[in-house]
């Protein structure tokens, strides 16, 4: 029975923790005493992107794309880009059509991808701008978290958004493709375009190919996206039906077990003969 409950419960707790982290991140941005300020962090990130060259590679036999870009300005260290003093989140990714609301972190290490979405180092930081192409990646089919499991359901025309340091960037999906591990052309920057590509593995459990979902920036940003910026994440609803089903099954099994036991033999004590 624990096998039945584990995926549901672990996924719920994972999403709950991610929602709490996002809420804490958004609350921190409301702090007027943030040092450096959000504006300073964004300006630094845009300088990083301007100094960046090249894009990303999908290497054969690798689970995830690898960055081959580097900043020509050695003073701009990747790990401190977009990092606030009290949080290691880089941004927040929302894909309403598949109910995704996840934190974005630096890099694509195993630890990072166990916690949320990873930004591929070597690609543009997700702060927008012409000629930028940011790549965000996450796992699919994890037992303990949903992550990008339903990314294959995203369709051309769907909209996703990235919230970063008090700004919201909206992207309309212009292309969804499945590629071989060594096909990387679709991850290159395009002159004059502001792109973000979401990447995960496919087919589920086999992971021999990659799903690429590419969005192009919507300008001006829709009012609905601006109004939704900073909204508290919807805390996931726990599937109590699973608990009820398991408990009901245990009750039935217990009843059948008890009902199937042979009746207890009556232990009758022999009548004691009266002594004179």
Q: Which residue, 114, 117, 206, is CA-closest to 164?
A: 117
Pick the CATH number of 2-228 from 1.20.1250.20, 2.40.260.10, 2.40.50.140, 3.50.50.60: 2.40.260.10
pLDDT lower than 70: segments of the chain = 1-35, 53-76, 233-250, 255-257, 260-276
Alpha carbons 101 and 95: distance in angstroms, whole number: 7
Task: Tokens for 228, please give them.
Answer: 């939704």
Residue 248: per-residue pLDDT: 67
Alpha carbons 193 and 214: distance in angstroms, whole number: 12
Residue 230: per-residue pLDDT: 77
Residue 143: per-residue pLDDT: 75
Alpha carbons 49 and 135: distance in angstroms, whole number: 13
Residue 181: per-residue pLDDT: 84
Residue 72: per-residue pLDDT: 58
Domain boundaries, the chain: 2-228
């Amino acid at each position: 029975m624990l096998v039945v409950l584990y995926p549901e419960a672990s996924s719920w707790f994972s999403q709950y923790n991610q929602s709490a982290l996002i809420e804490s991140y958004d609350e921190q941005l409301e702090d007027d005493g943030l040092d450096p300020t959000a504006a300073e962090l964004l300006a630094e990130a845009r300088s990083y992107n301007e100094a960046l060259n090249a894009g990303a590679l999908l290497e054969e036999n690798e689970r995830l794309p690898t960055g081959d870009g580097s900043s020509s300005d050695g003073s701009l260290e990747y790990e401190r880009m977009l990092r606030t003093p009290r949080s290691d989140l880089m941004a927040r990714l929302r894909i309403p059509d598949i109910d995704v609301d996840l934190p974005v972190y630096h890099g694509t290490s195993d630890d990072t991808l166990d916690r949320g979405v990873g930004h591929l180092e070597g690609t543009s930081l997700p702060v927008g701008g012409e000629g930028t192409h940011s790549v965000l990646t996450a796992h699919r089919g994890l037992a303990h978290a949903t992550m990008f499991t339903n990314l294959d359901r995203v369709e051309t025309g769907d909209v996703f958004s990235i919230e970063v340091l008090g700004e919201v960037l909206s992207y309309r999906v212009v292309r969804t493709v499945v590629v071989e591990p060594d096909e990387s052309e679709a991850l290159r920057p395009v002159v004059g375009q502001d792109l973000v590509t979401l990447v995960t593995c496919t087919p589920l459990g086999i992971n021999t190919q990659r799903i690429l979902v590419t969005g192009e920036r919507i300008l001006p940003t829709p009012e609905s996206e601006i109004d939704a910026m900073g909204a508290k994440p919807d805390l996931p609803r726990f599937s109590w039906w699973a608990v009820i089903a398991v408990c009901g099954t245990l009750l039935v099994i217990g009843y059948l077990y008890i009902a199937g036991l042979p009746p207890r033999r009556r232990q009758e004590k022999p009548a004691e003969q009266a002594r004179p």
